[in-house]
Structure 1
Amino acid sequence: MDAEADLVAAAGNQADSEAQPGRRLRATGIGSVAVLLWAALALFTTLTGRIPPFQLTAMAFAVGGIIGLPRALRGGGAAARGLPFGAWALGIGGLFGYHFFYFLALRNAPAVDAGLIAYLWPLLIVVFSALLPGERLRWWHVTGAVLGLGGTFLLVTGGQGVHLRGEYLLGYIAAAVCALVWSAYSVTNRRYPQVPTDMVAFFCLATAALAAVCHLLFETTVRPDGWQWLAVLALGLGPVGGAFYVWDHGTKHGDIRLLGTLSYFAPLLSTSLLVATGRAEASWPVAVACVLIAGGAALASADTLRSARRRRRAGPRRP
């Protein structure tokens, strides 16, 4: 009987091992949905009019927290009470810290300069992933991320280049901290796989509360009007709310290096969406950026795609 039990356990472990790559690929796919949602950030933000940044952040994150609250409160919120302090600090610090330093950067440096520095986070995710157990950083992962960064540079600057100036140093530092915060949050999130994604609802609500405090301290309230309410709701359901649930799942269980490289599609898709809606013009930098970002993503995902093809050719194993 003991030998039979050992055989059953071994078969179960083998099945789990074979299923693991498939689960990892599915989690990566789920995480990449966040990139699609972030692509709508610029469009929805333009539709909110003159609502101040911290006020908009507070409203959108409140929506993002509310949509996940029913699941987070199941069982009387027992999961939340059992969360380690590190998980709370990481979740709230990552979501609020990124937006706080991003807005600080925009207040103290030109938007193009600050945006480019802040958008170092996908590259940093790829580099920092080497610190995770079981992850190996290859040259094609870094090269793919660098190509994506080059494409983003063209998109943001329009091919005109960037000229950094000393009087904007505070803004540049804030943008760099912004990139470090989000990349560190995304990579360190892998260390809390036991924390349910439902807990993101509490992180969103805490971020909304902190953003509301910043709004009261630094901004004048603007009441949304008409379609602006729908734009705020769309932000909370998508890029500033709902996206963080799928990103949480992807960074915990998916291919973090591939997710980092795929993140460069967000500015490309965002620009394409603005062009399609008549809020921006098509140009050669957009076309070149498309080639660089798509090529970088293909290069960075080479090993993942090869593994998936091998599993398809092998087919399901017979017991």
Structure 2
Amino acid sequence: MSMVSNQNTRSATLLGLIAVIFWSTLPIVSIYTKGIPPFLCLSIAYFFAFIVHMIYWKYKYGSITLKFKQPLNYVLTYVIGIFSSNATFLIAMQHGDPVLSYLVSNLWPIFALFFAAFLFKEKLSNLHYIGAVIGFIGVIFISAKDGGMSMKGEVLFGFMMGFLNSVIWSFVSVINRKFSDIPADSVGLPLGIISILAFVTHIFVEGSTVISTQHLLAIMYLGIAPWGAAYTIWGYAVRFGDVKAVMLFGYLMPLLGVVWMILLGKAEFSMNVLISMILILVGASLGSIKLFLKNSK
């Protein structure tokens, strides 16, 4: 029984890595949505995410309305958490230096580890602390260029929004465990509500625009993968996997984001990037090595 449980824990933990891979494509996909107002983009993407979840509900439960009845605290937590997380991310990327903003938004695994320790009495080992520090240094290397960046004005505002984004998302990721009795695919309902909220926000604060086929395809991908399926996969991973290992997988996000940009010719490979890859991989693996050693016995 213990062996089966360990195997399930390992499988759930690895699902967290799949979600991270989906999310790592956000920087490169955002290039193909350039020119689309951010809240309109959010609205359409989450509409597709909601549709995908309804199709899944019909396949799994035989009903597309069964999941419309969810506990209010669950719905509010996800609507407020996901909406504010993505809003702060978009604002951060539009202000100041986008690399610096993206850097600080990817510090969320550090906050998540300590949120988990505080809220769920998760014990952190020395490996977790070391892995967090090494991963943080790796993220710093990715952002370092031209001797560093000054922080003032718009750059500072973008940094603050990115910092807020990392805190919000780390909390939402960890608080997932409070809802372990609710199926992870139930997140489809909050995503549908977010689509409506984003559209209302778009009407009041953004102007109209024309959406091309390329824009629509990119937004559809966002709704199906990083802003759709990834939330369900991530929810399952943090509930039934090793939450400390899952959070440290988050360090792979900026690493993979840079890799996608290099492969698609949007960034150049350098020794700086190579050093970052090594540090982030080491940092992420240190936090999860105990889990896999234990389960392999």
TM-score using structure 2 length: 0.91
Q: Distance in 2 between matches of 1:133 and 1:118?
A: 23
Q: Distance in 1 between matches of 2:64 and 2:267?
A: 48
Q: Does 1:68 align with 2:53?
A: yes
Q: RMSD in angstroms over aligned alpha carbons?
A: 2.1
Amino acid at match of 1:190: R
Task: Please tell me whether the aligned partners of residues 10 and 292 of structure 2 are also in contact (alpha carbons under 8 angstroms).
Answer: no
Show the 5 A alignment for 1:54-93: 54-72=39-57, 74=61, 75=63, 77-81=65-69, 83-93=70-80
5+ residue gaps, structure 2, are none
5+ residue gaps, structure 1, are 1-14, 311-319
1:188 and 1:269, CA in 2 relative to 1: closer, same or farther beyond 3 A? Answer: same
Show the 5 A alignment for 1:193-212: 193-212=180-199
Q: Distance in 2 between matches of 1:76 and 1:38?
A: 26
Q: Does 1:115 align with 2:105?
A: no
**Equivalent residue in structure 1 for 2:7, among 15, 22, 26:** 22
Amino acid at match of 2:259: S
Q: Distance in 1 between matches of 2:101 and 2:30?
A: 18
The CA deviation string for residues 251-305 of structure 1, in whole angstroms up to 9 with x for no partner, is: 1111111111111111111211111111211111110011101111221112112
Aligned-partner SS, 2:226: coil
How far does residue 76 in structure 1 lie from its aligned partner after superposition?
A: 6.3
Aligned-partner SS, 2:54: helix
Task: Please tell me whether the aligned partners of residues 109 and 251 of structure 2 are also in contact (alpha carbons under 8 angstroms).
Answer: yes
Task: Please tell me whether the aligned partners of residues 61 and 236 of structure 1 are also in contact (alpha carbons under 8 angstroms).
Answer: yes
Task: Please tell me whether the aligned partners of residues 148 and 264 of structure 1 are also in contact (alpha carbons under 8 angstroms).
Answer: yes
Identity of aligned residues (%): 27
1:262 and 1:56, CA in 2 relative to 1: closer, same or farther beyond 3 A? Answer: same
TM-score using structure 1 length: 0.85
Q: Does 1:307 align with 2:278?
A: no
Amino acid at match of 2:188: A
**Equivalent residue in structure 2 for 1:40, among 18, 25, 31:** 25
Q: Distance in 2 between matches of 1:244 and 1:288?
A: 30
Query: Looking at CA atoms only, which structure, 1 or 2, has the larger radius of gyration?
Result: 1
Instruction: Name the structure 1 match of 2:112.
Output: 125
- Number of residue pairs matched? 294
1:117 and 1:40, CA in 2 relative to 1: closer, same or farther beyond 3 A? Answer: closer
Task: Please tell me whether the aligned partners of residues 34 and 247 of structure 1 are also in contact (alpha carbons under 8 angstroms).
Answer: yes
Task: Please tell me whether the aligned partners of residues 98 and 182 of structure 1 are also in contact (alpha carbons under 8 angstroms).
Answer: yes
Q: Does 1:139 align with 2:105?
A: no
Instruction: Name the structure 2 match of 1:317.
Output: none
**Equivalent residue in structure 2 for 1:294, among 275, 281, 287:** 281
Task: Please tell me whether the aligned partners of residues 31 and 247 of structure 1 are also in contact (alpha carbons under 8 angstroms).
Answer: yes
Q: Does 1:257 align with 2:244?
A: yes
Q: Does 1:182 align with 2:169?
A: yes
How far does residue 23 in structure 1 lie from its aligned partner after superposition?
A: 1.3
How far does residue 108 in structure 1 lie from its aligned partner after superposition?
A: 4.7
